[in-house]
Amino acid sequence: MVLGRTVDVIETQFLSGGDINTAAQVFSSEGVFFIKWNQFEHTENQSMFETEALGLDLLRQTNAFRIPQVIGYGKHGDKAYLILEYIEPGKPSKTYWETLGQQLATLHAHSQPEFGLHFNNFIGSLPQTNTQTANGYDFFFNHRLLPQAGLAFYKGLLSKSTYDALFRLYKRFPELLPDERPALLHGDLWSGNVLVNEDSNPVLIDPAVYYGFREAELAFTRLFAGFDEYFYEAYDESFPLQEGFNERVAIYNLYPLLVHVNLFGSGYVSGVERVLKQF
């Protein structure tokens, strides 16, 4: 009914790779689609697919990347679903990493007056608040680090001394981090969220979009590796980074580390503690 007419399903092939949702490639009388669904137990998570669709549409409007077309989203019975264009996989071209770097620089060139976004969304299955804020240091601390640290402290995963150390680091942000304008970010840019399509070009999926520090996005790509050095070189040629970026990577990655603490447990706490001890 999403297409406004009856669609006959010919074949369904379940896909692996997701930690949160069930996903499948669906062959139908109207073409091939990618569908994912979930039976959300918490009311706050029921808007996850809607905000993902809004994020994909926002990224597509920049014309920086190939982004899967949103076919529709909604609820069927007790399950929420998202239907997307299916991206036929391909192999990277010889210039794939350079293209990815250049396209990310193009995306980051899109800006707005304030950090944040006009709607909230999710990072993984965790709510991500995007309250629009004039000051980037305040946004990064109050709407990225503090909510995740507070949740981890509440769950008993983070010690009081570690929690308090974040506030001391916050006071040092103006001397440690460059004061750049807000950049449109994918928001969850690890290697698993970048596909290669049939034309050998990058495709971005599963966004957690907002306007933030562009260095935070690049830092996250280094957390779990998977990105070639040609990617970073091409980005820097297109949109040069301020001197000392490599020394700042660990500070930005406090956010994804805290997210991983809350999603996957105490194994990531030592990484948070190392960064705070360093700075």
Q: Which residues are catalytic?
A: 188
Nearest to 33 by CA among 75, 3, 78: 3
Instruction: Let me know: does 111 contact 155? Beta carbons within 8 Å.
Output: no
- Please report where in the chains the tokens 């001394």 appear, as a residue: 161
The Cα 159–Cα 133 span in angstroms is 28
The Cα 197–Cα 135 span in angstroms is 38
Token reading at 166: 């974040």
86 by DSSP, 3-state: which? coil
Instruction: Let me know: does 205 contact 53? Beta carbons within 8 Å.
Output: no
Instruction: Let me know: does 97 contact 228? Beta carbons within 8 Å.
Output: yes
